Amino acid sequence: MRFILWLAALALSAALARGITPPDATAGHGAEALAVFLAYSVGHDPSYFAEDATFHVMAEEEPVVGREAIAETLDHFYNDAFSAAVGVSRNLLVSGNVVVLEAIFHGINTSDFMGMPATGRQVSVPMMMIYEIEGGLIQRLRLYMDFATMLRQLGHLE
Amino acid sequence: MRRRSSCTPLYALLLLLAALLPLAPARSVIADEARTGTSFGALEVVLAFLEAHDPSYVAEDAVWQHMWQPEPLHGREAVAAMLRDFYEDGFADSHFEVHKLVADGNKVVGEGVLYGTHTGDFMGMPATGRSIELPIIAIFVVEDGSITEGRLYYDVGTMLAQLGMMEEP
């Protein structure tokens, strides 16, 4: 009887110890979020966003709300304002339902951007994006970058 | 019945001891992780740094960059001077409210909002008395219990606009 109780106590304490294990991107923990993120990253397909998703460029007051509006924003950025637009990954972190991408955005400004005419200049702007993924879809995306850096490279700011 | 009842305190004591004993090695494992810099240890180091802005958590040869600046800071002393300029001189009442922490291996990302009042000289600008509320995300690399790299992403125009140094976007 004592032996059984001892075993039960060991199992309980082991479970308690597991409970304070750190967050990590181990297999099955973050794997689904990573799969969704990677599939989305191939072509920035807006169907990977939830219908009521939000995309917040943190330099702006308000986020873009809804898949349709996000699709327009991404299309303008990747296919209109900048050509040859690519993000070169510097770091990718995955934990639970969150994916964080640190990257450098490269592109050539070939059309109006932020109300300013095209300059034909190339930009290389460091940025960081945090994706919250639930139910196989991106629910929230937040983008951090310094717009002054981009405007300087475009020649709009000294 | 009487016999069973007399044994209950003994079983309870055994349970308690058995439950507590394995936790002691578990704690030392965490301490080891903190030293070797796996996720949990890295998280602990970054949390402690964010709470106290203590440069002793920064490696002596750390590379630190506010991404709007063209060049990084090199070394603990340079980081310590930057922290003093901001948290002690420029924005004495400031604090960083952490909204999300993501740890993966020896890298930790902290996302949050920096609140403060411009109470002293900062980057050559005299105090304005204005408040800032600046969304920031930062990535830290932790090795051997110290932060060896830090990169901070935010929109400097947002901060300057809040300080009245440039027009609101």
Separation of alpha carbons B87 and A114, rounded Å: 34
**How much of chain A exceeds pLDDT 70, in percent?**
82
pLDDT (average), residues B45-54: 92
Query: Higher-confidence residue: A84 or B24?
Result: A84
Please choose, from the candidates B26, B40, B34, the residue with its C-alpha nearest in 3D space to the C-alpha of residue A15.
B26
pLDDT of residue A11: 39
Please choose, from the candidates B136, B102, B137, the residue with its C-alpha nearest in 3D space to the C-alpha of residue B116.
B136
Best of A90, A92, A93, A145 to disrupt the B interface (most B CBs within 10 Å) is A93
Record: contact B20-A13, CB cut-off 8 A: yes
**Would you call A47 an interface residue with chain B, using a CB distance cutoff of 8 Å?**
no
Cβ contacts (< 8 Å) between A89 and chain B: which residues? Answer: none
Cβ contacts (< 8 Å) between A145 and chain B: which residues? Answer: 67, 153, 155
Cβ contacts (< 8 Å) between A24 and chain B: which residues? Answer: 39, 103-105
pLDDT of residue A25: 35
Separation of alpha carbons B136 and B155, rounded Å: 8
Record: contact B19-A22, CB cut-off 8 A: no
Which residue type sits at B123?
Answer: M
Band of residue B98 on the pLDDT scale cut at 50, 70, 90 = very high
Residue B142 has pLDDT above 90, yes or no: yes
Cβ contacts (< 8 Å) between A148 and chain B: which residues? Answer: 68, 155-157
Mean pLDDT of chain B: 81
Hey, what are A96's tokens? Answer: 């639970």
- Counting as low any pLDDT under 70, the low residues of chain A are 1-29
In A, minimum Cα distance to B16 occurs at: A9
Separation of alpha carbons B5 and B12, rounded Å: 11
**Would you call A4 an interface residue with chain B, using a CB distance cutoff of 8 Å?**
no
pLDDT (average), residues B112-137: 94
Separation of alpha carbons A134 and A141, rounded Å: 12
**Would you call A59 an interface residue with chain B, using a CB distance cutoff of 8 Å?**
yes
Q: Do the Cβ atoms of B84 and B76 come closer than 8 Å?
A: no
Give the predicted TM-score (pTM) of the model: 0.78
